[in-house]
Chains A and B, each alone.
Chain A
Amino acid sequence: MWDDCYEGKSLLSPASTSKLGLSISDVITDWLKSLPEELIPDILIRLPIKSLIRFTSVCKPWMSTIKDPTFVRNFSDQNATHLILLHVVQSEGYFNPEGTIQIIGFQEDSYSLLHDDTAVSEYCKVEFPIALNEELINPCFRVVGTCNGLVLLADDLGDYGYTFVLWNPSIRKYVTLPKPSVWFSTHGRYDASLGLGYDAISNDYKVVRLTTLFDQSDDCLTKAQVYSLGEGSWKMLLPVPVPQCFVSDSLVHVFVNGSLHWMAIQWTEIYMNYFILTFDVAGESFGERLLPKSFKLDEPLDLRLSVSGDRKSIALFVRCKRDSFLDVWVMKEYSEEKSWTKVVVLGPQGPERSLPMAFCFKRSGEVILELSHELVSLDVVSKGFKRLGISGGHICYVDSFEESLVLLDRDDAASY
């Protein structure tokens, strides 16, 4: 019997152990010479998320190991599966003029994850927590952005909506944020932009909401509120001043190197300028970054920020429908303001002579674009296009995504 074990054959059967008058767990525990505790996380960290969630029920020590903040952080750090989150809307009409999305005759929407590799094949479909839809004012939620596997959803596609949700689709949990304090009935008409970022110092996730009020007699006034997942509440950012500005692209923000970035317009008595408004998430302070050049405000340009392929810097898409060009700029060295480089210039493409719209960069450095109602990837070096086989419906959101365990330790997070 013992020889069988030495040669790696099947273990002691319940029958034979009871013959010896031992219980299985006695034998097994002795046999293992007690596996040291430090090895368990080393094994668990290599498991897929579904297994980890299941194994929180193995025993209480395993549950606390898996939910431990250090384990959650390490899991994200070593996770090598790079994905892309896709949100598609089926509707009769879908309009995306500057700064807004309008949906007419909404039918349904769906989420899926794709591999961020050459084939960009489907990794899995994502199930949406349908209970959330009951709160909607607009046809569906909009994905504001993602950070470490956490997705920020907002009910602001059209009418003023105040439902914001932090959702982790990988572990099927979400937290509905409390309502922020600046809204239509209190402050009149406004324009709002959001951002989701991670505070590495306090291991906290924060949502920033910038609201620019229209009904002001003075210069435009932009207020900032910050929600902290750790605190579970919003706070007005006072007396931290938001630079005199308003956010020009309220749909897109970028989180990179610990800061949120928005495309904004600076407003003084003498001039108006495009610039990049930044917010250091840990320090909770605003800043500015320069664009590659001065863009004229009177030209019909659509300026859109993005994250660079290596996720360490920012990129800029400049699209002009009137003059039919799409320029792609990348800041090669984030710390070097002069390192902005124009990497590609595109004109109308394909038989329909349509101007592509850029969404984001793949890890490999290719740009994902929408062209004639389907997604294609563009190699900026060879200028070659590759059809990704993703079409049908209106593409509402495409950007990088990583699976994570964030929200697992929150007992107040809803499961579905």
Chain B
Amino acid sequence: MSTPAENEASIKQESGPSGTVQDKPKKIVVRTGDGEVFELKEEVAMEMETIKTFFMEDNISYETVMPLTNVDSWELVKVIEYCSKYVELKNKENFHKELKAFQDEFVKSMSPKTLLSLSNVANYLEIKYFLDFICQAIADHIKSKDVEYVRELFGVENDFTEEEYEMAKTEAPWAHENLDKDLY
């Protein structure tokens, strides 16, 4: 993300000889829960329904800094990375192929917990295609894992009794076979 200093420089450059600011690409400013300020390109910010509604509904000026208290800066970095790429690829011919390649790389760089956090953020910011992608990535990750792994990952408590759990296992032993062995 550009610093305020760099941004000012780019604004001066883009205003042109007449000094008007009509050609400047519009920016939207947000502040994350951990106090960081981000400038987003308008076209990227508008991919997020929550931000779109905030500004569009009551015609709020782009000078307002929108608070995103439920989003941490590292999460926003990732969201911007994905949405920017999506916007860039959207109208291209090889959209699906190139997006898939980008998605594979994107997932590789993240731990399962990170994916879960991002699904929360995607849901809060209301970015449907990003949420679909993250949910699919989480599903792909857990599909061959055992029950203990999934409990740890999602932080859910085992509220079955020993008996209940064993009974469920014996009813469908085939579903508990041939799983990934790694934990965490």
By a beta-carbon cutoff of 8 Å, the part of chain A in contact with chain B is 5-6, 8-11, 24-25, 28-29, 31-33, 35-36, 38-40, 42-44, 46-48, 50-51, 53-62, 171-172, 415
Query: Within 8 Å of chain A (Cβ to Cβ): is B175?
Result: yes
Least CB distance from B98 to A in Å reads: 22
| A171: chain B residues within 8 A (beta carbon) | 172
| B123: chain A residues within 8 A (beta carbon) | 36, 38-39
Contact A50:B174 (CB < 8 A) given known A8-B110, A10-B184: yes
Q: Flag if B120 contacts A50 (CB, 8 Å).
A: no
Query: Which A residue's beta carbon lies closest to that of B119?
Result: A39
Query: Within 8 Å of chain A (Cβ to Cβ): is B21?
Result: no
Contact A11:B147 (CB < 8 A) given known A5-B113, A39-B120, A51-B142: no
Top 7 nearest A-B pairs (CB, nearest first) are: A46-B139, A53-B175, A28-B155, A54-B175, A57-B168, A51-B143, A29-B155
Q: Flag if A51 contacts B109 (CB, 8 Å).
A: no
A205 to B69, CA, bound (A): 48
Choose among B120, B144, B150, B152 the residue that contacts A28 (Cβ–Cβ < 8 A).
B152
A258 to B151, CA, bound (A): 41
Q: Flag if A32 contacts B120 (CB, 8 Å).
A: yes
Contact A35:B139 (CB < 8 A) given known A24-B152, A60-B159, A172-B172: no
| A9: chain B residues within 8 A (beta carbon) | 111
A9 to B174, CA, bound (A): 33
| B143: chain A residues within 8 A (beta carbon) | 47-48, 51
Q: Flag if A60 contacts B174 (CB, 8 Å).
A: no
**A-B pairs under 8 A by CB, number:** 104
By a beta-carbon cutoff of 8 Å, the part of chain B in contact with chain A is 70, 74, 109-111, 113-114, 116-117, 119-120, 123, 131, 135-136, 138-140, 142-144, 146-147, 150-152, 154-160, 165, 168-169, 171-172, 174-176, 184
Choose among B119, B140, B146 the residue that contacts A35 (Cβ–Cβ < 8 A).
B119
| B114: chain A residues within 8 A (beta carbon) | 5, 8
Least CB distance from A133 to B in Å reads: 19
A25 to B123, CA, bound (A): 23
Choose among A44, A47, A58 the residue that contacts B147 (Cβ–Cβ < 8 A).
A58
A43 to B143, CA, bound (A): 10
Q: Flag if B159 contacts A43 (CB, 8 Å).
A: no
Query: Which B residue's beta carbon lies closest to that of A33?
Result: B120
Q: Flag if B120 contacts A35 (CB, 8 Å).
A: yes
Least CB distance from A404 to B in Å reads: 15
| B120: chain A residues within 8 A (beta carbon) | 32-33, 35-36, 39
A62 to B159, CA, bound (A): 11
| A10: chain B residues within 8 A (beta carbon) | 111, 184
Query: Which B residue's beta carbon lies closest to that of A61?
Result: B156
Q: Flag if A43 contacts B74 (CB, 8 Å).
A: no
Choose among A5, A24, A59 the residue that contacts B158 (Cβ–Cβ < 8 A).
A59
Query: Which A residue's beta carbon lies closest to that of B124?
Result: A36
Q: A5-B111, A48-B143, A51-B142 are in contact. List 12 more A-B contacts (CB 8 A).
A: A6-B74, A9-B111, A35-B154, A36-B120, A43-B119, A43-B135, A43-B138, A46-B136, A53-B172, A54-B147, A58-B150, A59-B160
Query: Which A residue's beta carbon lies closest to that of B172?
Result: A53
| A33: chain B residues within 8 A (beta carbon) | 70, 117, 120
| A56: chain B residues within 8 A (beta carbon) | 168
| B135: chain A residues within 8 A (beta carbon) | 39, 42-43, 46
Least CB distance from B149 to A in Å reads: 10
Q: Flag if A47 contacts B109 (CB, 8 Å).
A: no
| A31: chain B residues within 8 A (beta carbon) | 113, 117, 155
| A28: chain B residues within 8 A (beta carbon) | 113, 152, 155
Contact A57:B109 (CB < 8 A) given known A8-B114, A46-B139: no
Contact A59:B151 (CB < 8 A) given known A51-B142, A54-B175: yes
20 pairs from A and B in contact (CB 8 Å cutoff): A5-B113, A5-B114, A25-B157, A32-B120, A32-B155, A33-B120, A35-B119, A35-B154, A35-B155, A39-B120, A40-B154, A43-B119, A43-B138, A43-B139, A47-B143, A57-B168, A57-B169, A59-B158, A59-B159, A61-B156
Q: Flag if B160 contacts A57 (CB, 8 Å).
A: yes
A29 to B116, CA, bound (A): 12
| B146: chain A residues within 8 A (beta carbon) | 54
| A25: chain B residues within 8 A (beta carbon) | 155, 157
A32 to B123, CA, bound (A): 13
Q: Flag if A415 contacts B111 (CB, 8 Å).
A: no
Least CB distance from A55 to B in Å reads: 6
Q: Flag if A11 contacts B139 (CB, 8 Å).
A: no
Least CB distance from A386 to B in Å reads: 28
Query: Which A residue's beta carbon lies closest to that of B141?
Result: A43
A6 to B70, CA, bound (A): 16
A25 to B148, CA, bound (A): 12
| B172: chain A residues within 8 A (beta carbon) | 53-54, 171-172, 415
Choose among B151, B171, B174 the residue that contacts A58 (Cβ–Cβ < 8 A).
B151
| A8: chain B residues within 8 A (beta carbon) | 109-111, 114
Q: Flag if B169 contacts A35 (CB, 8 Å).
A: no
Query: Which B residue's beta carbon lies closest to that of A14?
Result: B184
A172 to B172, CA, bound (A): 8
| B174: chain A residues within 8 A (beta carbon) | 50, 172
Q: Flag if A32 contacts B175 (CB, 8 Å).
A: no
A57 to B70, CA, bound (A): 31
A44 to B154, CA, bound (A): 12
Query: Which A residue's beta carbon lies closest to that of B75?
Result: A6
A166 to B104, CA, bound (A): 41
| B74: chain A residues within 8 A (beta carbon) | 6
